[in-house]
Structure 1
Amino acid sequence: ARCLPLPGGLRRAVSAALRRAAAAARPAPALAVLAARGRLVTAARQRALAEGGRLCASDLHLLLNLLGGGAGAGAGEVWTPVCLPRFNPDGYFYAYAARLGEEEEEEEGGVTLILLSTEREGFYAAAACRRQLEDTLRAQGWLAELAAAVRGGAGYGPSRPGAPELRHFLYKPLEGPEEMQQLPQFTSPELEEPYTSEEEQHRLFDLYHYLHSRVHSPHRPLRLLYHVAEKETLLAWVS
């Protein structure tokens, strides 16, 4: 899942507030996620997911697409069973989703809280967790900063790293803060020329798929790959 660009200090502060609110809930949620416009702000995992292994990207996208948009469209608080097929196709969680600061923020500036619980009657605990987190974020001014970051722009351009002639890139960290470990995430710039058309975007993603399949081949994995395509020169490496 793509991360919402934020100052490091703000993300750490919001992450700590989310962990405290989730840990104080009874029962505590298995997973707590803050998202904005389909992008990951931060997350906190509890034992249920930590013992079960990684949360796959497709499962995280399912949560963001199903609950992030619904809760942000005036749906109030959502409480519904949801299956994460890659995590466990034979079971399901109870999912809670709600907008934070909906009454005072513009629609496009909203931040959504998603909580996964293993308890069928966990709605009121989830709602209390949301209220505690919202009060903390508002009191510290972080809720307004998050909303401003969402409204401030889609992200950054490919020139940000300062590499001449760089058109696009994907970066997935192998390590990170404790609250982000074991969650699929990556960062990438916005698509600019020549990747503004749907056809060119599909072509670019096909190239990324090719690089990924070569680097992570089960028969002959690579740590470094240099590939010259018809229109681009590509470099992939595992650090």
Structure 2
Amino acid sequence: MENTNGKEVEPFILENNVGNVISQGDNIDETLANVNNVSLPEESEKIEDEAEEVTLKEMIDCSEWRQNHKHVFILSSAGKPVYSRYGSEDKLATIFGVMQALVSFVQDSDDSIRSIHFEQNIMVFSIKGPIILVAVSNRKDSIEFISTQLTYVYNQIVSVLTLSRVTKIFEKRHNYDLRRLLTGSERLIDHLLTFSETQPEFLLDAVSCLKMQSAQREAISNAIISTCSKIKTLVFAMLIGCNRLITLVRRKKYSLQPSDLHLIFNLVNSSESFKTAESWTPICLPNFDATGFLHGHVSYLAENCQACLLLLTVDQNIFFELSAAKKAIVEKLEKNQLFDVINEGLKKPNLTVNDIPKIYKMRHFIFKCKKSSHLLSPVLPVLYNTPAAANNLMFQYQQLYSTIHQPGSLLKLAFQQLPNETMLGWVTEKFELMVTFEPLINKRSATDGAKKLSQIIEKDEDKFFIQNIYNF
């Protein structure tokens, strides 16, 4: 078996030394024959009986796997199905059983399974306490990127239930069917997976901001601060729209990581009901506090506006106070003609490649400001306007990112010439930049183009990124 660099890889990647149990020469059928000796929970007797007839090859050949390049499963450590990205969890019960058996087999040797490679496929495992997450991809996705996706999916579950509740549930009943508590939340996971595969923010752990003059952004922030500063239990206030952050105001000493902001974006984008009425919803932000809920007042500024205001508090009894605050904020924005600024900004993309002074043979780029963890990327040009072309470009960015960020690597510049495009990745103390060029550009020209691009962006970074920290 070969990895993306053409080097031999072991089909099973494990944390410690159990790899000697599964040698590189073993095939998947022989391995599963050993795995089938692992006992499964009594509640999964049907899975146990059928597991011997299922090979990993058959699993990949079923229709759900053939039609979709990446499948994601969630199950409990007892083998109970929780979620399947495609298909019915109940109909795929045998597959869940095999996955649980694989994990148990390795854990019995005091080890932890990370991934399995077979043919062009990769199977990645992430074990989070009593929850097992598995992704199977039929293209050469990096283990790191898939692992990040699985962590996001796990965090989405925690966001709905809190870590404390998940822990207590499985301490009382290890074979609990978690689907009972997640009914209706599948759409959040579905949307999150699609979001993470199509938006560069997930790859670079960053957030895009709405482009505007810094004075306008400060005026919007001040409208929120002046209204909400006396609400002592309010922790965060943010205005978002079209997957872009307009402003974020926070209580001093508190901050939000991009991964938590992504969950907030996902919640808003997945819920049409927020557009029709003010909502009061609990939300756990795992990197802020995985053990408890914040309570969010969520509402759009107006029916004809795509900007959504979220006021997050630790007090579950102040809905009406926050509702009044929202109305006051809207009045201030309208009075200062900021409502129109927001509306007009959201109606158009932040940037197109044509907005950048001509850079030789450049097609697209992704730029991350390290200081703020904010990101800038233009809309995809016509060449990449089909789902297949857009997905392929994102896949190439993923591969380039993995090349630069290999564990232990000191690589700061990567240049890759591919059949359809040339990619350049550049990491400095201030920023990360990945650029797509036409396929025949040479390294010198690509490097010069990347330097020119970084200078252009840094010149206007106060428009593209939120430079100031706004506190109540």
> Normalised by the size of structure 1, how large is the TM-score?
0.81
In 1, the alpha carbon distance for the partners of 2:407 and 2:316 equals: 41
Q: 1:160 aligns with which of 355, 360, 371?
A: 355
Shift of 1:71: 5.8
- The reply on whether 1:35 has 2:240 as its aligned counterpart is yes
Provide the residue aligned with 1:116 in structure 2.
Answer: 312
Q: What is the 5 A alignment of 1:154-193?
A: 154-162=349-357, 163-175=359-371, 181=372, 184-193=373-382
* Paired residue type of 1:73: K
Distance, in Å, in 2 between the alignment partners of 1:63 and 1:230 is 38
Is 2:225 the counterpart of 1:19?
Answer: yes
Amino acid at match of 1:3: C
Structure 2 partner of 1:137: 333
Contact 2:275 2:299 in 1 (8 A): no
What does 1:1-239 align with in structure 2 at a 5 Å threshold? 1-27=207-233, 29-47=234-252, 49-50=254-255, 54-57=256-259, 59-67=260-268, 69-70=271-272, 72-74=274-276, 76-102=277-303, 106=304, 109-151=305-347, 153-162=348-357, 163-175=359-371, 181=372, 184-239=373-428
Deviation at 1:225, TM superposition (A): 1.9
Residues 11-56 of structure 1 deviation map (CA, whole Å, 9 limit, x = unaligned): 23213333333423232x2221101223211111224633xxx523
Hey, what does 1:178 align to over in structure 2? none
For the residues of structure 2 that align with 1:205 and 1:8, how far apart are their CA atoms?
A: 30
8 Å CA contact 2:284, 2:293 repeated in 1 = yes
Instruction: For residue 129 of structure 1, report the CA deviation from its aligned partner.
Output: 2.7
Deviations 1:204-225 (A, max 9, x none): 1111112222222222142222
Q: Secondary structure at the match of 1:170?
A: strand
State the Cα RMSD in Å: 2.2
Between 217-226 and 113-122, the greater mean CA deviation after superposition: 217-226
> Which runs of 4 or more aligned residues in structure 1 lie more than 4 Å from their structure 2 counterparts after TM superposition?
none
Residue identity opposite 2:261 in structure 1: L
Q: Which has the higher contact order (CA 8 A, sep 6+)?
A: 1
Question: Is the contact between residue 18 and residue 43 of structure 1 (CA under 8 Å) also seen in structure 2?
Answer: no
Task: Give the direction of change, closer, same or farther, for the CA distance of 1:218–1:14 in structure 2 (3 Å limit).
Answer: same
Report the CA distance shift for 1:18/1:70 in structure 2 as closer, same or farther (over 3 A).
farther
> Unaligned stretches of 5+ in structure 2?
1-206, 429-472
TM-score scaled by structure 2? 0.43
Q: What is the CA–CA distance in structure 1 between the aligned matches of 2:237 and 2:426, rounded to whole Å?
A: 32
TM-superposition CA deviations, 1:85-143 (whole Å, max 9, x none): 344433221111112134xxx2xx33210121112223233223312321211110101
Is the CA contact (8 Å cut-off) linking 1:18 and 1:32 kept in structure 2?
Answer: yes
AA of the residue aligned to 2:280: W
How far apart are the structure 2 equivalents of 1:22 and 1:223? 44
Cα distance 1:222–1:92, how it changes in 2: closer, same or farther (>3 A)? farther
Unpaired runs of at least 5, structure 1: 176-180
Partner of 2:109: none
How far apart, CA to CA, are the structure 1 residues paired with 2:420 and 2:254? 43
CA gap 1:228/1:88 in 2 versus in 1, 3 angstroms: farther
Q: Secondary structure at the match of 1:219?
A: coil
Paired residue type of 2:290 = P
Q: C-alpha separation between the residues in 2 aligned to 1:87 and 1:191?
A: 33
Question: Following TM superposition, by how much is the alpha carbon of 1:202 offset from its aligned partner in structure 2, in angstroms?
Answer: 1.1
Tell me the secondary structure at the aligned position of residue 363 of structure 2: coil
User: Which whole-Å deviations, capped at 9, do the CAs of 1:48-67 have from their partners, x for residues lacking one?
Assistant: 633xxx5233x322212323
Count residues in correspondence.
220
SS of match in other structure, 1:110: coil
User: Which secondary structure does the structure 2 equivalent of 1:169 belong to?
Assistant: strand
Task: Classify 1:45/1:224 alpha carbon distance in 2 versus 1 (closer, same or farther; 3 Å).
Answer: farther
* Cα separation, 1, equivalents of 2:383 and 2:424: 18
CA contact (8 A) 1:101 1:143 kept: no
Cα deviation for residue 82 of structure 1 reads: 1.1
CA distance in 2, matches of 1:124, 1:218: 50
Code of the aligned partner of 2:309: L
Identity of matched residues, % = 25
